[in-house]
Every structure is written in C-alpha cells, then in structure tokens.
Amino acid sequence: MDGHTCHEHPQSHRGERVLQQLRIAVGSDKAGRDHATALTDDLRASSLVSSIIDISALDGQGRAAYPEIAFAAAQLVADGRADRALLVCHTGLGMAIAANKIPGIRAVTAHDSWSVRCAVLSNNAQVLTLGQGIVGLGLARRLVEEWLTYRFDDTCSAAAKIETISAFEDRWQGRSAADAH
C-alpha cells in the first residue's frame, strides 16, 4: 500500500509536535451526565482545548434524549463550528448511532486507549462517544486526555479510505436529492 500508515508516521505519536488547540462540543443525556460534567471540567482545564460548547447546558431542562444531543453536537462539527464532539450516554452507543446520521460525521464509541487512538489516526473520527455505564470515570478521563493529543494526518495511507467513505456519502446524498425531485 502507498504511503505511511497512521501507525508508522512519527508525527502521529504523542508529544512530538506542537498540537493545534481544539474546539470541542460536549453533551450528554441524563444517563451520562455525571461523567460528562467531570469530563467537561477536564476539557476546560486542558491546554489542548481552545473552546467548549456545552450542548447539555443549552438544554435548559436537562431532559433531552440522546438523539437530540447527538444531532446538535454533530451538526456543530459538520458546520465547522467545532472540531470535535465528546458525547456521553449510558453505553455511548445511541449517541454514536445518532451522530452518524449527520452527513460528514464519523462517530465512534471507544472504551480503550488503542481504539481511541485509532479512531482519530486511522478513522479520522471527529466524534467520540463514551458510556457512563460501561467505563468508570477514571478511565473515561484518561481516554479523553489521550484523545486530545491525537491529530489525523491526511498524508497517511488511511486518508484514501476516509475519502472513499466521504465520496460514497456524497454520491448517496446526491441520489437522495435527485429522488426528492
């Protein structure tokens, strides 16, 4: 295969270059609120985060179900108003399913360090979802800390595969638009 893989590229490793700060959208449903609150505090304290949009805080009553939170956060990313989103529900699964409905979004649930790493370096996922019912807060905090250090390298061999996904999505959307007329 042409090009270096995301795992080989020296710049893909932690701490070897100055990292651009990230704008993060963060949100949760009731089942993910405790983790999300603590993780948001961590994001606020991180030198790798330039700004936070707290979707849950915009949800005045705090009763929104996971699809609404996921759609809102993913839309911010798709619109270019946030670089990434961090979403927490009971399992992380529903948040990922919902966020992936927004065109252009690659959302994954990941509960281990290697998956978090590959989610960014291999899959260029902009959305990470966690399950408060699946991982303890200590692990969740560590995963998010690690997540912030990864940046996708669009010169690595993974980039063509992401492009294949995007091209498929563009074709599909074009077909849907044509069907609507």
Ligand X SMILES: O=C[C@H](O)[C@H](O)COP(=O)(O)O
Active site residue ranges: 89
The correct pick among 27, 36, 87, 94 for binding ligand X (CB under 6 A) is 94
Contact criterion met (CB below 8 Å) for 153 and 7: no
Contact criterion met (CB below 8 Å) for 113 and 145: no
**Cβ proximity to ligand X, 91 vs 122, nearer residue:** 91
Tell me which residue of 141, 112, 120, 113 sits closest to 41, measured CA to CA: 141
Distance in Å, CB of 29 to ligand X, minimum: 5
Q: How many Cβ atoms are within 10 Å of 71's Cβ, its own excluded?
A: 18
Site for ligand X in 15-34 (CB under 6 A): 29, 31
The strand pair at 49-54 and 22-28 is best described as: parallel
**Cβ proximity to ligand X, 91 vs 126, nearer residue:** 91
Query: Does position 56 bind ligand X by CB under 6 A?
Result: no
The correct pick among 82, 85, 86, 89 for binding ligand X (CB under 6 A) is 89
Q: How many Cβ atoms are within 10 Å of 143's Cβ, its own excluded?
A: 22
Query: Does position 143 bind ligand X by CB under 6 A?
Result: no
**Contact residues for ligand X, defined by CB under 6 A:** 29, 31, 66, 89-91, 93-94
